[in-house]
Amino acid sequence: MLKYILKRIVLFIPTLFIISLLTFFLSTSVPGDPVEQMLNSNSEMGSSAKAVAAEKAYIAKRKQLGLDLPTFYFSISNQATPKDLFVIPKKFHRENLAKLIKQYGNWNEISAYYKALRNLEINTGSVITDSSNADALIDIKAGIQEILIESENQSIQFNLNKIEKLAVTTGLPALATEITNTKNLYASVVSKATTYKNYIPAIHWYGINNQYHQWITKFMVGDFGISYQDEKPVKTVIWEAVRWTVLLSFISIFLTYLIAIPLGIVSAANKGNIKDQTISTSLFILYSLPSFWVATLLIMFFGGGDFLNLFPSFGVPQPTENMTFWGKFFNYVWHLTLPVICYTYGGLAFISRQMRGAMVNSLSQDYIRTARAKGLNEEVVLWKHAIKNSLLPIITLFANVFPLAISGSVVLELIFSIPGMGKTAYEALVARNYPIVYTVVMFSAILTLIGYLVADILYAVVDPRISYNKK
């Protein structure tokens, strides 16, 4: 058994490596720019000083997040794409430059054009604004912003001609000269195209100083990055949420198994009679009720709605330092009763039916008939002989307990205002707070693997005939 456990743990490594790769590359390909999201700015329009300050703040935040590094240990691209395209700070600029490279394949000309355009953007912000040129400068800045994220030839030429005309008619000769120079550099991009380079493969090596290596090594020591919303460490956000979800999940799981397994056994022992039909019908009625509807009814009837005010309708217990142990205990019970009911009732039917089916199958086996022939009490037959073999399907379901223990329920946590993992993950997903989302994904994967390992061990514990040692 120990050899088997060690072998499974060793197999965890390549499995988690593949999952981490998928998780990481999903995080790098999602839309949006996390740096601009954290800085709450997507424009550099304004004075030259403000533009430079905004650029410095952007670069500093990008370095803090480790986004100034290459994505992986190596990249497979083509001879047209430079090795260090990742050093371009703005994500939308990099994406647009990649489109231009694909169209024209001449990085030297594209790079010169991009640098001229960026300088034009900064110099436009340094022009002294007065009543005669204010409107024109706003249009010129907007045009430059549009060109920086534009790759279509006609659109770029149209905007360059438009801002050149504005600079000339408004009496900004220095700016007009710079725009003309940028136009010439762009014309050079178009005329000196070398698209064939896009079809010549190239491999670029970066070593361990890359985003993936930094992310996975920090993850392994408990550093999950920082939240994009409030810049708090992700592990702090996760811990604040997971403790409530784990508490509710384990109470619910314990109660579900405690109630469902005996019900399944009783139902199987009375197969086909009124007791079996009553239990099955009652549980399927509960199973068919939507959790959000039951939660609403519980709040309305017992949470201070139109009827009784026995339990809080939202929030989590906040015990004070002066509370005794039993005071804290009853405070938790008072606050968590309604959520636990909603968490628990839905699983009763499913688990009890699994237990019933397994018990019915076990009760038809020869060894059960032998036990009964020996004159053993029916309760002994059920609870000592039949139950062991019947627990195998339940153990298989138990393997899913571990990831579910931290995933929580989005609907119920939102309804009861519980700051658990479901609510936190949902809010993070809506806000594109991906460090939290992908930390939850990784932990779910790890706990899933642990769950299946525990299930395999429990199989051997429950049924000694199951052995993982080679004969």
List Cβ neighbours of 159 (8 Å cut-off, separation of 6 or more). Answer: 143, 146, 147, 150
- CA–CA gap between residue 419 and residue 248 (Å, rounded): 12
Q: Let me know whether 251 and 169 are in one domain.
A: no
Are 137 and 129 in contact, with CB atoms under 8 Å apart?
Answer: yes
pLDDT for the residue 467: 65
Percentage of the chain surpassing pLDDT 90?
Answer: 23
Instruction: Note whether residue 469 is domain-resident.
Output: no
Are 400 and 253 in contact, with CB atoms under 8 Å apart?
Answer: no
Whether residue 297 is predicted with pLDDT greater than 50 in this model: the reply is yes
Task: Kindly write down the DSSP assignment for every residue of 83-97, as one continuous string.
Answer: TTGGGSS-HHHHHHH
Instruction: Note whether residue 55 is domain-resident.
Output: yes
Q: How many domains does the chain have?
A: 2
Whether residue 417 is predicted with pLDDT greater than 80 in this model: the reply is yes
Whether residue 49 is predicted with pLDDT greater than 70 in this model: the reply is no
Q: At residue 272, what are phi and psi to the nearest 5 degrees?
A: 90, -15
Q: Let me know whether 354 and 244 are in one domain.
A: yes
- How many degrees, rounded to 5, is the angle at CA 18 between CA 13 and CA 23? 120
Instruction: Note whether residue 66 is domain-resident.
Output: yes
Domain's final residue, options 220, 250, 277: 220
Of 471 and 282, more confident:
282
Rounded average pLDDT over 214-235: 87
Instruction: Note whether residue 365 is domain-resident.
Output: yes
Are 193 and 104 in contact, with CB atoms under 8 Å apart?
Answer: yes
Rounded average pLDDT over 53-63: 84
With bands split at pLDDT 50, 70 and 90, how would you rate the model's confidence at 374?
confident
pLDDT for the residue 305: 67
Q: Let me know whether 183 and 250 are in one domain.
A: no
The token pair at 255 is 């109660």
- CA–CA gap between residue 445 and residue 49 (Å, rounded): 47
Instruction: Note whether residue 11 is domain-resident.
Output: no
Rounded average pLDDT over 237-257: 87
CATH of the domain at 283: 1.10.3720.10
Q: Let me know whether 278 and 420 are in one domain.
A: yes
Q: Let me know whether 303 and 202 are in one domain.
A: no
Domain of 343, in residue numbers: 234-462
Whether residue 446 is predicted with pLDDT greater than 50 in this model: the reply is yes
Q: Report the chain's mean pLDDT, rounded to a whole number.
A: 85
Q: Let me know whether 86 and 198 are in one domain.
A: yes
Q: Let me know whether 204 and 241 are in one domain.
A: no
pLDDT for the residue 203: 93
The model carries a pTM of 0.75
Instruction: Note whether residue 212 is domain-resident.
Output: yes
Of 208 and 240, more confident:
208
Instruction: Note whether residue 21 is domain-resident.
Output: no
| Beta pairing partners, 76 | 203
